[in-house]
Each structure stands twice: as C-alpha cells, then as structure tokens.
Homo-oligomer: A and B are copies of this chain.
Amino acid sequence: MEYKKITEEDIRFIQNIVDKDRISQGISNLNLHSIDQSHHKPSLPELVIWPIKEEEVSGILKYANERFIPVTAWGAGTSLEGNSIPVDKGIVLDFSMMNRIIQIREEDFQADVQPGVIYQDLNHKLRYKGLFFPPDPGARASIGGMIANNASGIRSIRYGSTRENVLRLKVVLANGQIIELGKNTQKTSSGYDLLRLFIGSEGTLGIVVEATVRLRGIPEHFSACLVSFKDIYSASKAVFQIMRAGLEPVCLEIMDSNCIKVVNRINGLNLKHLHTLIIEFQGSSKEALKDSVDMCEQICKDLGYKEFIFGIERDDYKRIIDARHLLGESMRKYHPGRVHTVTDVAVPISRFPELILFAEKLTKNIKIPAYIFGHAGEGNLHLAFMVKEEDSEEWHLVDEIKDKVTDMAIKLGGTCTGEHGVGIGKRKYMEKEHGDSLFWMKKIKELFDPHGILNPGKIFP
C-alpha cells in the first residue's frame, strides 16, 4: 500500500472538520508525537490533530481513508513497545482534549468516559464513592491507550486486564463509520464479541471515542507484606507456592535486588537489599486477612526467606507501590546518559521460576545494568536494561537477551507480551506465537481497514 503525503489541500479540507487551533504542523508538536516511552526509533508525523468530538474523528478518518493517509491514535504516549509511533507519518490524533468523564453510574458500577481520561484522574474522582477502576499500569496512561494495549498492571491478578474491565465501546472505523460494541450489562451472549476483538488491537481496527468501564468497590481492609530472599529463584518459587495455595492476593510483585537498590536511592525507601516480593491481600475482615498472611509467611519461611514484614501501614505501602510504579523513571535517574528498554513476557505460573532463573543467568555477568521484576503472581516478567545509546554492541547484546527470554517464554507455553502489547518491538514473535491464526488476524485487519490507514507498521511482522 502506497501512503500519500499530506498536502496543503488536505489541510484545507481538514480545517473544515476541526478548528484551526487544534491542528498543528509545528515541529515541537510533531516531535512530541514521534516517540512513546520506548527505545524504538522516533518518527515524526506530518500533522497533529486534537479532536474534541466523535464527529471530527469520523470526518478525519473518512477523508484519510479515501486519500490513503495513515492515522495513528495517541493517548498519553506512555506505551513501551512503540505502539503509538507514527512510523509511516501521516496524522496523529491526540485524544488529550477528549478527556471528559461523561457519567459515573455508581448504582451500576459503571462509568462512561472519553478516551483521553487518565485512569488515575478517574480513580481520584471515584475515591469518595468507594469505587475504583482496577487496571493499574502505573504510568499516567489514558484509558483509550489502555484499551488499545489491553493494559493491566499490579491489580490484574485479582481484577483482570483492561479487557475484563470494559463493557462497551464506541469506535470509529477506518471508513468513518461510528459503531457501538458491547453492552452496559455484566453479561451477554448476544452475537460475536467484537468488543474484546477491538480491545488490545492497538488502534489498528478502529479508534475508540467513548468507553463504558466497569468499577469495583474498594475493599475495607488490606494487609501488605514485604518478603525478601537471598536468591531470586526462591523468591519466584514462593510466588508459585502462594498462588498454588489459592491465597488470591490482589498484588504479588517481584523486584530483584537491583531494583531495590534503585528505589532505595531514588525513591528514598529503606528496603533490605535483597530480592523482594510485595504482597497485598484485601478482604472484608481483618481475621480473614490474618489467615492469608500467616499461610503466606509459612510458605516463604519454608523457602528460606531472610525477612518477612507484615502489617505495613497504608502510607508506607503507598510509598512502596508508588516507587514500584516509578521504577522505569527511577532507573533513568539512576543511570543518567543511558537509555531505558524493557521487555514484557508472561508464562503459566508453574513455569515462572524457570523463566526467572533463565533471565537471571543471562543477565548475571553482563556489564549492562539489568533489572528483573514483574507482576509475578500472573507469571508476568519484565526485564529492563539501561543501555548506552550509541553503543551498538550493548544494544546487540540486549536484543539478543530479550530475544532469548521471549523465545523461552513462548517455549514454556507463554506469550511474547503480557500487557505492553505488540507495537513494533514484538512483531517478530507473532508468527512463532500464533502460527496459522496470525493469517486470520491479518484477514480481520483487512476487513476493517482495507487501505491499512490505521496505525500502520504495528502488530504484524
């Protein structure tokens, strides 16, 4: 498919759809929309547009579709695999001005939001109602972006990913048509599940202009623990045993000792410099929580923990979780002049210790700073590196290690991405992971976007 460069005529046409002051060709705006939080190669769009209405999105897509102009949706730019980089240039639609919480329906545990709403802002607004939207990727992500990548984070172990927390979408298709997917009900068996098909499709099938999200009640009681181990393999075995025991934590994170060093220094924490699990239980009574914590301690003891801290206060726990969320940024501060790159894979929980051991062996003796962490309770591993930007040898080694870890994850029955999405970085694993079903994904792409204008260069190898 040959894409067309944007002309003066195109811009004049678009100015009939969108106010002039919400269209920019300014280099600083193009720059701001050329790269997400990943290490992938930046690419400047030709035009940035800030829509405020679905009709504008529809008008722009209809026009772009006829003229073969690529259109990439932009949430908050916090993706980690180049998911929103406009690699084929064209238009970037920045949804930061469509950031209205349209309606909170407490009585149905639902909220209608525009895609530009930052999920923390929604939760901030909800907290006085005792409700929250569970997916919690950490970065200040937009809900539109979370839907695109099926984001999850530290609470998905209990509440599921974004896919399980969205009930209804309004999307604009490549041809400009606006359709609704899903229902405002907790269950439905009516027709094909187009809703889930679009969630996680990274803006390649259509662009979300409105979403109904599912809210949950904030549980009354919580209990947080920190457990430290001398070797990371034992820590990862504890993860498996905790899950196997059916303890159902709402958060079960792993951070290797390198991560701990960073959060101690940068975030002012004072944790033992060992491999650490962060574990949180929630419930409606303190007694129930005590049982879980006791059982959890017993498991960790049998595996030879060095320290088990429980009954962490809410404020202290918040500082730990905030530090966990800021891990990527803190690594950058800890290693000035180096570039952050991270990979994200997931395996069945019983294979998690094996994967951790494999990642540790590969990174143990290298000179590049490497960090092992992740949403361990779901078998979700993150492996981050801080690389010298101009050092091609370092990049080569890092790519090799990431390749090996991803291959191993797939070999263990896992997936090349648990939550960051495919974007640019994981395209090369799609064939290995999906085999013949990749062909059918392509067919679906062709069906909804025959001219290939929506976020080209993503997902497919």
For A444, the chain B residues whose CB sits under 8 A away are 192, 194, 444, 447
Stretch at the interface among A28-36, A225-233, A268-276, A429-437: A429-437
B residues less than 8 Å from A10 (CB atoms):
none
Report the minimum CB–CB distance from A206 to chain B (whole Å): 10
Choose one: B108, B284, B346, B347; the contact of A349 (CB below 8 Å): B108
Chain B's closest residue to A150 (CB) is: B189
- Interface residue tally of chain A, by bracket? 35 or more
* Stretch in contact with the other chain, from A302-310, A331-339, A410-418: A410-418
Point out the residues of chain B lying under 8 angstroms from A110, CB to CB: 348
Q: Does A421 contact B (CB under 8 A)?
A: yes
Give every chain B residue within 8 A of A186 (Cβ-Cβ). Answer: 157, 346, 348-349, 378-379
Q: Are A437 and B194 in touch, CB under 8 angstroms? A: yes
Residues of B within 8 Å of A436, CB to CB, are 177-180
**In the complex, A164 has a CB within 8 A of chain B:** yes
A163 at the interface (CB under 8 A from B): yes
**Contact A350:B105 (CB < 8 A) given known A193-B196, A437-B180:** yes
Interface residue? A312 (CB, 8 A): no
A50 located at the interface, meaning its Cβ lies under 8 Å from any Cβ of chain B in the complex? no
Please provide the chain A residues from 101 to 141 with a CB less than 8 Å away from any CB of chain B in the complex: 105-110, 130
Against B, the Cβ 8 Å flags (1 = close, 0 = not) of A320-340 are 000000000000000000000
Is A368 in the interface zone, CB < 8 Å from B?
no
| Contact status B417-A189, CB under 8 Å | yes
Complex: chain B residue closest to A219, CB-CB:
B246
> How far does the Cβ of A319 sit from chain B's closest Cβ, in whole Å?
26
A190 touching B430 in the complex, CB below 8 Å, given contacts A288-B284, A350-B108, A435-B179: yes
- Selected interface stretch from A17-25, A67-75, A197-205, A397-405: A197-205
Question: A185 contacts which of B130, B157, B192, B347 (Cβ < 8 Å)?
Answer: B347
Is A443 engaged at the interface, CB distance under 8 Å to the other chain? yes
Determine if A89 is an interface residue (Cβ-Cβ < 8 Å). no
Which residue on B lies nearest to A287, using beta carbons? B287
Find out whether the CB atom of A415 lies under 8 angstroms from the CB atom of B447: no
Q: Nearest chain-B residue to A216 (Cβ)?
A: B246
The answer on a CB contact under 8 Å between B108 and A187 is no
With known contacts A187-B161, A447-B447, A440–B346 Cβ distance under 8 A: no
Q: How far is the CA of A331 from the CA of B351 in the complex (A)?
A: 49
Cβ-defined contact, A435 with B284, below 8 A: no
CA distance A157 to B187 in the complex (A): 9
Bound together, the chains give a CA A455 to CA B82 distance in angstroms of 41
A152 close to B (CB within 8 Å): yes
Min CB gap A245→B, angstroms: 8
A427 (CB) vs chain B CBs: closest residue: B191
Write out the residue numbers on chain B whose beta carbons fall within 8 Å of the beta carbon of A156.
187
Closest B residue to A217 by CB, please name it.
B246
Interface residues of A in 4-22 (CB under 8 A from B): none
Known: A180-B434, A187-B418, A192-B441. 6 other contacts (CB 8 A): A105-B350, A152-B187, A156-B187, A161-B187, A190-B421, A192-B201
4 closest pairs, A vs B, by CB? A217-B246, A196-B196, A285-B288, A107-B350
